[in-house]
Chain A
Amino acid sequence: MRAEHRNARPHEERHVKGTFALRRPVRRIARYALLVGMAVVVAFPIYITVVNALLPSAQIGARPPTLFPTHPQWGSFRAAFSEAHLGIYLRNSAIVTIGITAAQLITSVLAAYAFVFLRFPARRVIFMVCIATLMVPLEATILPNYRTIEMLGWYNTFPALIVPFVGSGIGIFLFRQAFLGLPRDLRDAATLDGYGHLRFLTRVVLPLNRPVTAAFGIYAFLTAWNQYLWPLLVTQTNSVRTVQIGLRQLSISNFNQLDVVFAGTVLGALPIFVLLFVFQRQLVRGLTAGALKG
C-alpha cells in the first residue's frame, strides 16, 4: 500500500524522497550504532554478573576472562540461600521496602490532598518547607537521624530502617501537582453528593490519578530497595540486614565463594527487574488512558 502511495506522488516529490533515501540509511545506522553501544555499556556489567554467578568460584577473575559459561553451575543460586542467608536478606529488604513505599504513598497522598483541598493557616509556608526538604541531602541528616534512632533504642531494628523515610517531599510535590489538575467542581459535587474527604479521596481522586500513583510507587520502591548507606549504619545482625548490606558483608568477609556472592547479587536485583517489566506496561496503559480522556 505504501509503495502504491509513493508511485502516485508527482515526479518532483519522488525526487526529493530519493535524496532522503540516500541519506536515511546512513543516519539510521549511526543512530542504531550509538544505541547499541550505550546498551552494551549498561548491560555488560549485568551480563558479567550473571556469568560469574554460573562459573566455578576459582574461574572468577581468571585471565583471560570467561565471557560465556560452557558448563553453567546453577548450584551457586541454591548456595546463596543455604549458606549466604539470602532468604533472610530478601525478606528483610521486602519488609523495609514495602514498608517505606506504603508509608510514603499514604503520607504523600494525604499531605498533598490537604494542601490542595483543605484551607488551613500557613498552608503555603508548610508546603514550602516540604519542598525545601528536597534540597537537604541524605548525608546531612544522617547524624541527627542516627542519634535519634539510638536515643529511641531502635538500633538494629526494622523501625530504624523504615521510620526515617515515611515522608517524601517529592511524593507530596508530585501528588499535589496532580491533584491541582482536578476541577474544584468535582470536590463540590462530591460534597453535595454526600462524600466526605476520605471517601472523595478514595473514590474519586485516587482512581483519577492512577498513573502518578504508579509512577511514584515505583520510584519509592526502587529508591528504598537500593538504599545502602543508612541500612549499613543502623544494622548489626543478619536478622535485619537488607540484601544490599548482606551481600556487602559477604564480599568483604572471608567467605570465599565468589560465585555465590554473584548469584546473590543477581537475585537481589531480580525484584527490581520484575517490577519494572510488570509496571512499565501498567504505566503506559495509565498514561494512554489519561490521554484519551481528553
Chain B
Amino acid sequence: MTSPPGNSTEIDSSRADFTPVTDKALAALPLERGAASSVALEGITKSYGPVTAIRDLTLEARAGEFLVLLGPSGCGKTTALRLVAGLEDPTSGTVRIGGRVVNDVDAKDRDVAMVFQSYALYPHLSVGRNIEFPLRARQVPASQRRQLVATVAESLRLEQLLDRKPAQLSGGQRQRVALARAIVRRPRAFLMDEPLSNLDAQLRVQMRAELVELHTRVDITILYVTHDQVEAMTMGQRIAILNEGVLQQLDTPEAVYRRPANAFVAGFVGSPPMNILRGRAVAEDDALWVAVPGGRVGLSPPLVRAVEDRALREVVVGLRPEALSLDPNGTIAAAVSLVELVGHEQHVALRLPGGQLVWIRMGSEAPRMRTGQDVRIAATGTVHLFDPQTGNLIEVGNE
C-alpha cells in the first residue's frame, strides 16, 4: 500500500542535492564568451498539407538573450523551435543563426542544442556516455571528451551519477543530464521545448531559478518554449506570444503584462487572467461610461477621447484582477461564485448578471466571503480598451 522505503529515500536525496550551482563550476564551463549567436526567423510560414502551423512569423532572439515563446498548445511554438533546429523545413521564409541563412544547412551542422520535454536521454547509455554522445559524433579526441564531460558534470553536479543509467535518476537529475548533453557541445544557441513540464511543482521552481542563473552567468542564447505564463514571465528577458501560428506580441514581460497588444495576450498572461468585458459606450451623468453586465465602468479622460475619436459604440474593456476592488458604492453588481485562498492573497471569482465570471485579487487579511453573497465592485486600477473588431489594444498616449 505504501511505497517501499527505498523509493522515498531516493526522492529525498534528489531534493537534498539541490545546492546552487557554484560560480567556480560555472566559470569552468566550456562556453567561451562570444560563442552565443542570434537566432532569427524571417517571414516564416509552415504548413502541413491544408493546416498552417505558423503564419508569416518574424522574430529574433538576440545573441545572449533568453527569449521565451509562449502560447497555448497547438499555437506553433514547438514547430518554430523545430524549424530553428532544422528538424523541420519552413514552407517559406528564412531561418538565420548568427546572421547566416541556414535554411539549407542540415540539423547536425546548425550547431544548436535542444532540450526536450521528455529529456530524450539514451536509455541504454550511462549518464557519462549520454553527455559524451554528441562529442563522439564530432570525433572529439577521447582525452578531450573525458575532460569536457568531467567539467560539465561538475558544473551541473552530476559527477556522482556518471555511471548510472537514466532510469535510475530522478526527474530533476535527468533534466540536468539533458542540459549537460546540450552544454557539452558548446552550441551557438539552446532550444528548450517545455523542459520543466515533467517535473513536480517544487522542482520546477528550483530548476527555473537554476536556468535563469545559468543564463545570467554564461553567455548563451536560449530559445525557450512553454505554455506556462509564469515560466515565461519569470525567466524570459523577452516573451513572444503566439496564437494559432501568429505572433501576437514580442516584448519584455513587464510590457506584455502592462500593455498587452490585444485581448488574447491580455487573457493569456497573468493569473488569474485579465477580465475582458464587452460593453457599449454610453453617456450618463455628464460622462462617458462603458455599460457592462451588472453596471458600468468609468473611463479616464484619454480613454474617453480615444472612444470619441474613433466614434466607438461597442467597446471591449480589460481589467486586471488587481484593478478591481470591493466597494459598497461600486458601479458593478455581482455575486460571489468562488473564493480561492492562495496563501498571501485571495482570488475571488464573481459572477456578473449575464453569467460571465470576473476575477478580483484581494489580500489574504480581507474577510472571507460567502459563496452567493451579493457584492459591488469598482474599477480602481488601469482600464484597458480593446478594439471590438480586431481585439487590438487601443493605445492612449499618457497612461
Contacts and interface: CB of A to CB of B under 8 A. Distances in A.
Interface of A: 183, 185-186, 188-196, 199, 204, 207-208, 292-294
B217 interface: no
B122 A194 contact: no
Interface in B134-183: 134, 137-138, 165, 167, 181
Contacts of A186: 120, 122
Which of B82, B107, B120, B185 has the most chain A CB within a 10 Å cutoff? Answer: B120
B167 A204 contact: no
B108 A191 contact: yes
Contacts of B124: 204, 207-208
A192 B122 contact: no
Contacts of A192: 85-87, 107-108, 112-114, 134
A194 B137 contact: yes
B118 A194 contact: no
Contacts of B185: 193
A208 B124 CA distance: 6
Interface string B71-93: 00000000000100111000000
Nearest to B116: A185
Contacts of B264: none
Contacts of B133: 190, 193, 195
A274 B22 CA distance: 58
A47 B357 CA distance: 83
Given A191-B107, A191-B108, A208-B124, A183 B134 contact: no
27 contacts: A183-B118, A185-B116, A185-B117, A185-B120, A186-B122, A188-B82, A188-B114, A188-B120, A189-B114, A189-B116, A189-B181, A191-B107, A192-B86, A192-B107, A192-B113, A193-B133, A193-B181, A194-B134, A194-B137, A194-B138, A195-B133, A196-B108, A199-B137, A208-B124, A293-B123, A293-B167, A294-B167
Nearest to B85: A192
Given A188-B87, A192-B107, A294-B167, A204 B120 contact: no
Q: Which 3 A-B pairs have the closest CB atoms?
A: A194-B137, A185-B120, A193-B134
A185 B113 CA distance: 13
Given A188-B120, A191-B87, 11 more contacts: A186-B122, A188-B87, A191-B86, A192-B85, A192-B108, A192-B113, A194-B137, A194-B138, A195-B133, A204-B122, A208-B124
Nearest to B123: A293
Contacts of B116: 185, 188-189
A185 B118 contact: yes
A293 B164 CA distance: 12
Nearest to A191: B107
B3 to A, nearest CB: 15
Given A186-B122, A188-B116, A188-B120, A193 B137 contact: yes
Contacts, number: 59
Interface in B329-371: none
A192 B133 CA distance: 11
A185 B78 CA distance: 12
A190 B137 CA distance: 9
Interface string B216-232: 00000000000000000
A193 B109 CA distance: 9
Contacts of A195: 108, 133, 137
A195 B130 CA distance: 13
B120 A183 contact: yes
A294 B123 CA distance: 10
Nearest to A208: B124
Nearest to A292: B167
A144 B118 CA distance: 50
A123 to B, nearest CB: 15
Contacts of B112: 192
Contacts of A191: 86-87, 107-108
Contact of A189 (B82, B120, B165, B167): B120
A208 B107 contact: no
Interface string B252-276: 0000000000000000000000000
Contacts of A185: 116-118, 120
Interface in B8-45: none
A204 B133 CA distance: 11
Nearest to A185: B120
A73 B138 CA distance: 64
Contacts of A189: 114, 116, 120, 122, 181
Nearest to B118: A185
Contacts of B120: 183, 185-186, 188-189
A206 to B, nearest CB: 10
B181 to A, nearest CB: 7
A207 B120 CA distance: 16
Nearest to A294: B167
Contacts of A204: 122, 124
A201 to B, nearest CB: 13
A194 B139 CA distance: 10
A53 to B, nearest CB: 45
A186 B119 CA distance: 9
Nearest to B165: A293
A204 B136 CA distance: 13
Which of A185, A191, A194 has the most chain B CB within a 10 Å cutoff? Answer: A194
A199 B136 CA distance: 11
Nearest to B124: A207
A194 B185 CA distance: 10
